[in-house]
Amino acid sequence: MQNSPHMVMWRTVQGQEVKDRRLSRDTIRRIVSFATPHRSKLTVFLVISVLTALLGVVTPVLAGDVVNAITAGDEVSVVVWLAVAIAAVAVVDAGLNVLNRWLSSQIGEGLILDLRTAVYDHVQRMPIAFFTRTRTGALVSRLNNDVIGAQRAFSNTLSGVVSNVVSLLLTVVVMVSISWQVTALSVLLLPIFLVPARAMGGRLAALQREAAQHNASMSTQMTERFSAGGATLVKLFGRPEAEAAEFARRAGRVRDIGVRVAMLQTTFVTALTLVSALALALVYGLGGAQAILGNLDAGDVVTLALLLTRLYSPLTMLANARMDIMSAVVSFERVFEILDLVPLIQEKPDARPIPSGPAAVEFDDVRFAYPSAEQVSLASLEDVAVLDSRGGEEVLHGISFTVLPGRTVALVGSSGAGKSTIAQLVARLYDVTSGAVRIGGTDVRDTTFASLRETIGMVTQDGHLFHESIRDNLTLVKPDATDEQLWDALTRARMRHVIQALSDGLDTVVGERGYRLSGGERQRLTIARLLLAAPQVVILDEATSALDSTNEAHVQAALGEAMAGRTALVIAHRLSTIRSADQILVVEDGRIVERGAHPELLAAGGRYAELYETQFADQEA
């Protein structure tokens, strides 16, 4: 596989950090495991790469034979047949190049598919703690830039090394067999080019690292500022002029780096062209003199000149081969970093489903501490030098209560008291540190993930929606739902008239995070999704906080219908929700400090009475 000289030099220049890398046996083994499914195509790919290298040497030899035939006064047919041979080699070479490109794309795209699906599947199994710490952009970069960088190891670097080694060896052998003196003198010029080229590579790597950092900063700025929430924040409280100036500063620096890189590339190509021209002049001068003296044939001089043009490119590529290979290895290792993160929450091999029918929720002396950063994340994914060492401090202390089927328990307390943490433990978004959370008498750690999803339905305060249609957002919980079932859920969530008023109805795209809908509409749509799922256990984490009083009354009626005969755990700041609960748990500092019904807790004059006076008295009035 032939590459233009400047592409060979600059195609895979990477950061300085790859220079000190070493190939470990484990990394090689894992790379081979990803390559194994493509081994047959890889074998053919490498064989064709060798053949194209062979053909690259044949053409100059045939060209030299043509010149010798002409100077020797051979018959016309000899020259014609040599020309036909050159044409045949060109046709075969073109066909092999097309076939090799097809194989290269098959192997490369297949490897990208394997790596991306492996990473995507693994990331989906990571706990919520992983996503609360990780930068989304860093994850996307692993799925895009690093996966593509790893793919180049097979589609470009591997074939390039093989074909260039073969081409270099054959070229040198043929040139030496013709005239070792001319060959030696031609190669002496190579250090004049390679030494500055390697130094230039280091300068380019530093520039590219700086440009990558500025591009990453601009990407982060655009991602945050161009979202609906970010744009609103900037318009309300930000400084658009300062934001634009900062963006322009970074973009300007990237422009300046681009100019310097272009000049470095031009300098390199010019230097290579100059050295090649000097070497070519040497071949013509020395070789021509030898031909006149009768030591060489004229055709040999032409062959040497043509082979010389094929000598510098492989040498340049091989001089930087280690950098290319280690750059690909770095990409593989960054992908393996993700795959090596062990999901903190895993399904047991003998996991069993939760028994069907009404299910109770039981907390048995539950203690919980949020996992530390090193348990769930990577410094490179958080854009920090060292992971935060904090973590492991207990936030729930001996929580015990039971919610019977068909009953509703409300959690109240100060912000940060641990209410949402309790709700998340039910859905097994986190695992308890000690004690147990049971649903239907089964520890959630012993159940299957599918069973948990079918049994538990949760509506959170932010009411997240995907940038998809209303139909897609609803059928997330029930892919086979009919339109009748969708409209029924929307009717019960008091959203039918809103959706019917939209031009595309159920096929209306709600926008990123559902920003094309109002806050109350987004929340009611997520409640419709819950109603469609019809789970046995319902968790509402301040689900009505975004609704006005009128909408709340409608949705409360729908939720009351949906929760009939089901277990409900509700975190609420609305008095109406708390009053209808069968039991109220007052949570403070990770402990249940009071429990009972609204009247008795109010009469007790404790912490609940204080919360009532500060949060709920105005609602009652």
pLDDT (average), residues 525-550:
79
Residues 336 and 365 both lie in one domain: no
603 and 508 in one domain?
yes
Looking at the structure, tell me whether residues 85 and 156 fall in a common domain: yes
Residue 212: what pLDDT? 65
pLDDT of residue 591: 93
pTM score of the predicted model: 0.72
Choose among 87, 61, 44: nearest CA to 310: 61
Helix or strand holding residue 593 (H, E): strand 591-596
Domain presence at residue 239? no
Element (H, E) at 402: strand 394-403
Same domain? For 465 and 497 the reply is yes
Q: Where are the beta strands (DSSP E) in 64-193?
A: none
265 shares a domain with 188: yes
Which tokens go with 296?
A: 């060489």
Residues 6+ apart with CB under 8 A from 424: 128, 430
Task: Return the CATH number at 155.
Answer: 1.20.1560.10
Q: How many domains does the chain have?
A: 2
Domain housing 301: 5-213+258-340
Q: Which of 178-182, 185-189, 262-266, 525-529 has the lowest mean pLDDT?
A: 185-189
Residue 310 in domain: yes
Paired tokens of 523 = 């929340």
Q: What is the mean pLDDT of residues 503-530?
A: 81
pLDDT in the model for residue 323:
62
Which pLDDT band holds residue 487 (cuts at 50, 70, 90)?
very high
Angle between helices 180-187 and 298-309 (to 10 degrees): 30
pLDDT of residue 301: 82
Residue type, 26: D
Predicted confidence at residue 584, as pLDDT, reads: 93
In CATH, what number is assigned to the domain containing residue 399?
3.40.50.300
Which strands make up the sheet holding 442-443, listed edge to edge?
394-403, 361-369, 434-439, 442-443
Alpha helices in 320-399 (DSSP H): 321-340, 373-376, 379-382
| Contact (CB, 8 A) for 8 and 316 | yes
Average the pLDDT over 311-326 and give the result.
68
Sorted by sequence, the CB contacts under 8 Å of residue 618 that are 6+ apart come out as: none
Q: Which residue has the higher pLDDT, 158 or 396?
A: 396
Asked whether residue 424 is domain-assigned, the answer is yes
pLDDT band for position 552 (50/70/90)?
low
Contact 446, 348 (CB under 8 A): yes
**What is the three-class DSSP state of 225?**
helix
User: How many whole angstroms separate alpha carbon 465 and alpha carbon 508?
Assistant: 13
Does residue 575 share a domain with residue 449? yes
Residues 69, 183: one domain?
Answer: yes
CA distances from 357 to 253, 439, 534, 566, 568 (A): 63, 11, 12, 9, 14
Q: Is residue 347 part of a domain?
A: no
More confident of the two residues 213 and 93: 93
In tens, the pLDDT along 173-191 reads: 888 888 887 777 777 766 6
Do 371 and 326 lie in one domain? The reply is no
Dihedral, CA of residue 92, residue 98, residue 100 and residue 102, to nearest 10: -150
H-helix segments, 188-320 = 190-225, 228-237, 240-282, 288-292, 298-309, 312-319
Structure tokens at 473: 């957002």
Residue 108 has pLDDT above 60, yes or no: yes
| Local confidence band at 395 (pLDDT 50, 70, 90 cut-offs) | very high
- Which one, of 81, 52, 53, 79, lies nearest residue 67 by Cα? 79
- Please give the full DSSP string across 403-442, using - where no structure is assigned: E-TT-EEEEEESTTSSHHHHHHHHTTSS--SEEEEEETTE
How many whole angstroms from its chain centre is CA 106?
Answer: 21
Query: pLDDT digit string (tens) for 339-378?
Result: 888 888 899 999 999 988 888 999 999 999 988 877 777 7
Alpha-carbon gap, residue 481 to 104, rounded angstroms: 43
Structure tokens at 462: 């932010």
Residue 528 has pLDDT above 80, yes or no: yes
Residue 513 pLDDT > 70: no
The percent of residues in the chain predicted with pLDDT above 70, rounded, is: 79
Task: Assess whether 203 and 142 both reside in one domain.
Answer: yes
DSSP-derived secondary structure for 45-66? HHHHHHHHHHHHHHHHHHHHHH
pLDDT band for position 266 (50/70/90)?
A: confident
Q: Is residue 222 part of a domain?
A: no
Widest pairwise Cα distance in the chain: 121
Which of 22-36, 247-261, 429-443, 529-543 shows the lowest mean pLDDT across its residues? 22-36
Is pLDDT larger for residue 266 or for residue 384? 266
How far is the CA of 62 from the CAs of 65, 88, 95, 576, in angstroms?
A: 5, 11, 19, 93
Q: Do 333 and 373 have their domain in common?
A: no
Q: How confident is the model at residue 555 (pLDDT cuts 50, 70, 90)?
A: low
- Whether 346 maps to a domain, the answer reads no
Phi then psi dihedrals of residue 352, to 5 deg: -125, 155
User: Does any domain span residue 593?
Assistant: yes
CA dihedral 182, 185, 191, 192 (to 10 degrees): -110
Task: Answer with the residue of higher pLDDT: 213 or 500.
Answer: 500
Burial 177-203 (b: 16+ CB within 10 A, else e): ebbeebbebbbebbeebbeebeebbee
| The pLDDT of residue 21 | 52
Q: How far is 587 from 594, CA to CA, in rounded Å?
A: 7
Q: Are residues 325 and 368 in the same domain?
A: no
Contact 470, 385 (CB under 8 A): no
* Residue 588's pLDDT band (cuts 50, 70, 90): very high
At residue 286, φ and ψ (nearest 5 deg) are -70, -45
Across the chain, mean pLDDT equals 79
Q: Is residue 82 located within the same domain as residue 182? A: yes
- Top mean pLDDT of 87-101, 208-222, 264-278, 371-385 is at 87-101
Question: Is 540 a member of any domain?
Answer: yes
| Average confidence (pLDDT) over 595-610 | 89
Q: What is the pLDDT, as a whole number, of residue 425?
A: 94
Question: How does strand 583-588 pair with strand 591-596?
Answer: antiparallel
Residue from 395, 380, 398 nearest 430 by CA: 395
Packed helices 76-124 and 39-72: angle between N→C axes, nearest 10 degrees: 160
What pLDDT does 299 receive?
82
Task: Give residue 438's region: left, alpha or beta (phi > 0; psi -120 to 50).
Answer: beta
pLDDT score of 4: 42
Helix then strand then coil, in percent of the chain rounded to 5, is 65, 10, 25
Strands (E), 446-575: 456-459, 537-541, 567-571
Confidence of residue 3 (pLDDT cuts 50, 70, 90): very low
